[in-house]
Every structure is written in C-alpha cells, then in structure tokens.
Amino acid sequence: MNKQDVTFNFDNTYACELEGFYVPWKGEQAPAPSMVLFNDKLAQDLGLQTEKLKGDQGAEIFSGGIAPKGANPLAQAYAGHQFGGFSEQLGDGRALLLGEILDNDGHRVDLQLKGSGRTPFSRGGDGKAVLGPVLREYLMGEAMHALGVPTTRALAAVTTGEDVVRDGVKPGAVLARVASSHLRVGTFQFFAARKEWDKVRTLADYAIARHYPDLADANEEYLAFLSAVADRQASLVASWLHNGFVHGVMNTDNMTISGETIDYGPCAFVDTYDAKAVFSSIDHNGRYAFGNQPVIAQWNLARLAENLLPLIDGDDSENAIRLATNVINGFIGQYTEIWTKGMRAKIGLVSSENEDAALINDLFTAMDDQNVDYTLFFRRLADAAEGQDEELLALFNNSQEIKAWLPSWKDRLLRDPQAIAERARNMNTVNPIYIPRNHRVEEALQAAEAGDMAPFNALMNVLSDPFTKRDGLERYEGAAPDDFGPYQTFCGT
Ligand code: AMP
Ligand code: MG
C-alpha cells in the first residue's frame, strides 16, 4: 500500500454538528483498487491534489479502503417513501460520506463514496456497486451538469478488483461523487417518523444554514425554508422536462434539500416526446413517468411539509397545516411559471405575453402521439425560425397540426425583439443537440464492461458540450434505430 500524503481541505460540519444523525463507519478494503475515471477538471475546481489523486492513492481512497487525513467517514440515516410506501429506515446502505471539502471559492461540498461496502443501514444488501451502473451515474451526472441542470457530480470511478454478484458476476466498482449536500426529504422523514422533533429542528437549522443562509433571520423561518426548497425543486424538475430527462425513481429519499438531481439509477432521456414515457423496469404504474414528475415533486414536498409542521407552528397545528398547505398548493403554479419561462426560450422568445402559455400548450398538443424526436425538434425549430421548415416537418408522423401551429408561432416571433439569426443562435444555446441517447449510452457501457473505454470517453467528450454542433458527431445526434427496441433501465448500482 502506498504511503498516503494527499491532503483534502476537509471541514466536516455534518459529522461535528449532527451527532445522532449518522453512524461513524469505514469503507471496506478493496482487494485491488484501480482508477477507471478521474474527473480532472472537477478535481481542480475543488482545489484537490489532482496529480496525487489520479493514481494509486486516489484508487485507494476512492474505493473506501483508506480514509484520508481529516475525513470523518460515516453512513447517514434517512427514511423514505419508495413508490408511495414508507420505509422508516433506509440510510446509506452502500455509501459512505467521507466529509465536506471547501473548494477554491470556499463552497462546501460533500465527498461521498457509493459502493464502498456494507454499513449498519445495508439491510439485506451487499453494500457494493458494479462498474456498469457506476459509469452510468458518472456519465448521466456529468451530462446533466453540462446541460446546466443542478446535479451531484462524479469525481472518480474505481474498480475494486472484486467480483460482485448481480445478474451474473460483475466487476465491483465505487463511484466518488460530490454534492452540495446529501440532505434528502428522507433525512427529515427519518426523525419525524420517530417524533424526534428536536432533531427535526436541528436538521432544519442545519439545512437552512448550509443551503438557505438568507432565511436564518426570516420571519416564519421554517415555512420560508419549505417554500425555498419548493422553489428549487420547481426549477429542477422544470429543467428535467426542458431537457427530456426522466429520473425514474423520485422516491423521497432521492429528493435533495439543495435542489440537485441525485441518484442516477434507472434514469433516461426520452427520444420521442411522450408524457407517459417510463424506462424503469419496476415502475409498472408510471408513477415516475416523464410528464408526472412535477406532480410527484409536489407529493414529495408535501411529505417534507408534514415533517415541518411542529416547527412551522408548534402551538396551533391547524395554522401550521394551513400555512404549509398553501405552499404545497402553490407548487404546480410555481413550477408551470418556471417551465413556461424556459419553454419561451426554447421556442425563441425573449419577450413575454400572456398568450404564450397557450401557444406552448398548442405546441405540445401538436407533438402528442407524433413520434417526434424531442431534442431534434427544438434544433429544427431554430432552423424554422430562419425560414427552413422542411426538416422540422419531417420529424412528424403527420405534420398537419404542426403546420397549423407554425404560423401562429411565426406571428408571435414578429412581436419579439430579436434579429432572425440572433434568435436562432440563442435557441441553440438552450436546446441541446447532443443528449445521452439511450443506444449510445448502452453502446458505451457495453464496451467499457468489456474493457474498452474509448466509446465511453468519446461519448463523455460529446456530452461535455451539448449545445455546440460539431462536424463528425452526426452519429450522436439521432434517436435509437427501431431495432434498438423499447428501452428498459434498472435500479441497482
Ligand atoms: P436507491 O435505490 O439507490 O435510492 O437506494 C435505496 C436504498 O437501498 C438506500 O437505503 C440504499 O442505501 C439501499 N441500497 C441499494 N442498493 C444497496 C446495496 N447493494 N447494498 C446495501 N444497500 C443498498
Ligand atoms: Mg437513493
């Protein structure tokens, strides 16, 4: 084993301030840790010692076997509603929080390992992760970041040298990820379910200080906190829908307090626009379907609201319920406003008129059941803004409805203060040309599992700049061919 001389700028508030909210723990020693991917750019932004970390020391640390100096490795407690059913105890069953790092600008991030072995929260699980899903989370998270969607980030992926049983034997792996924190709706649920209201308050105070410091002195601080989390979730889920992303497993333990996307398991991007799109093999009723995500976010926030009631008004529970209900009832309106604002930009508007919402709704009606590629549609719409409609129309099975929509859109553009070429350019800065197309993701993962990282690295490179069309990358633009078949995703990392 190498002598560890790498240092991190740790400052572990969770470990220090929230005793009783976790179990101090250690990662398992992997038999033969080996670095597969290291996110150099992110490591630099975090002020890490990249040269030391990209080699064997990094593999040792990120596989969990050795805790670096200053780390307080621990498994966090949380509960959660999974597909609507409550589990009083979930927790980090295969994850380990090493600690918090202050980056070059003083921003605080969690450094967490996923797949580093069993913990007291593992229940029946083995605490392990395997290479394919680790790489999938790496790729999806980094792609989302490049799209401008708030997300956890991937810092490194290592293989452990161990065989792990998952539908056959697979190479064991660990993902090192960073997040602005791993506080979840489910973290509150854990203590609220046990009626440990002091702890719920301590947690809320901690979350406010860490993510919403402006609220610390607000009137009705805890109500304002609920509102602020709802704001961030409204923006987050709107950005998912703008980009065609289906999270796939929006359980309350997979919803962050910070408003970042977390836990890329069975997620996928839609090719064709379909509000009912579901990819997860276990989402039989479409609870987490593409178009259902705003309603589910609201449902999850209602669970958070319930947990905060005694803090919102400890003396008058009716009043607490009334105040919290107002916030939750306002969510869909708030979401719709943010979504509409983003859709305006996607269809080339910088100005705003009341009738835009109807124009946008008509567009989605025209896209319904048309097998239209959601991503390509908006790129072709930029061409249409410059007068070229043919390729756009060719995306539709039957172009009758979209042909009726285009003139009303073009009328609207006449009242929007942008030059034609400028508008098309602006549209292409919010509408990606490259997304993680399901067939390309699978192709890259299959090659990686067979030992060839080249397709994965090529895809990562494409997705790192999703808005700029580049020559030679045509194969990454289009939807999966028909023979790719219906796409199914799975939960297990
Ligand atoms: P997830 O589906 O990733 O949101 O995880 C839900 C819960 O199952 C969390 O408490 C995880 O820690 C736990 N879990 C998932 N996979 C494993 C595993 N292989 N070993 C132990 N716990 C696991
Ligand atoms: Mg999870």
pLDDT in tens, 456-468: 999 999 999 999 9
Residue 186, ligand 1, Cβ within 6 A:
no
Q: Report the SS3 class of residue 454.
A: helix
Rounded percentage of the chain residues whose pLDDT exceeds 70: 99
Residue 28, ligand 1, Cβ within 6 A:
no
* Host H or E run for residue 330: helix 317-346
pLDDT in tens, 351-388: 999 999 999 999 999 999 999 999 999 999 999 999 99
* Host H or E run for residue 111: strand 108-114
Q: In the prediction, which pLDDT does 141 show? A: 98
pLDDT in tens, 67-122: 999 999 999 999 999 999 999 999 999 999 999 999 989 999 999 999 999 999 99
Residue 2 has pLDDT above 70, yes or no: no
Token pair belonging to 429:
């800065």
Tokens 């803004």 label which residue? Answer: 385
Residue 125, ligand 1, Cβ within 6 A:
yes
Which protein residue has the closest C-alpha to ligand 1 atom 22? Answer: 93
Residue 406 CA to ligand 2 centre (angstroms):
42
With CA atoms as reference, report the closest residue to 430 among 342, 353, 351, 369.
342
Q: Identify which of 94, 165, 187 to mutate to test ligand 1's pocket (most ligand atoms within 8 A of the CB).
A: 94
Q: Which whole-number Å values give the CA distances from 398 to 274, 368, 370, 372, in the listed order? A: 16, 11, 7, 10
State the catalytic residues. Answer: 253
**DSSP 8-state symbol, 282:** T
Are 242 and 343 within 8 A, CB to CB? Answer: yes
Instruction: Give the confidence band of 4 by pLDDT, cuts at 50, 70, 90.
Output: confident
Q: Identify which of 90, 166, 262 to mutate to test ligand 1's pocket (most ligand atoms within 8 A of the CB).
A: 90
Average pLDDT over the chain, rounded to an integer: 97
Average pLDDT over residues 127-134: 98
Residue 94, ligand 1, Cβ within 6 A:
yes
Instruction: Give the confidence band of 1 by pLDDT, cuts at 50, 70, 90.
Output: very low
Q: Which atom of ligand 1 is nearest to the CA of 254?
A: 4
Residue 137, ligand 1, Cβ within 6 A:
no
Average pLDDT over residues 404-420: 98
With CA atoms as reference, report the closest residue to 249 among 490, 31, 1, 2.
490
> C-alpha 83: how far from its chain's center?
18
pTM: 0.97
Q: Helices 131-147 and 221-243, interaxial angle, to 10°?
A: 100
Q: In the prediction, which pLDDT does 493 show? A: 61
Ion ligand 2: residues, Cβ under 5 Å: 254, 263
With CA atoms as reference, report the closest residue to 27 among 110, 137, 112.
112
With CA atoms as reference, report the closest residue to 446 among 435, 459, 455.
455
pLDDT in tens, 16-68: 999 999 999 999 999 999 999 999 999 999 999 999 999 999 999 999 999 99
> C-alpha 418: how far from its chain's center?
33
Point out the least confidently predicted range of 136-145, 166-175, 445-454, 477-486.
477-486
pLDDT in tens, 199-213: 999 999 999 999 999
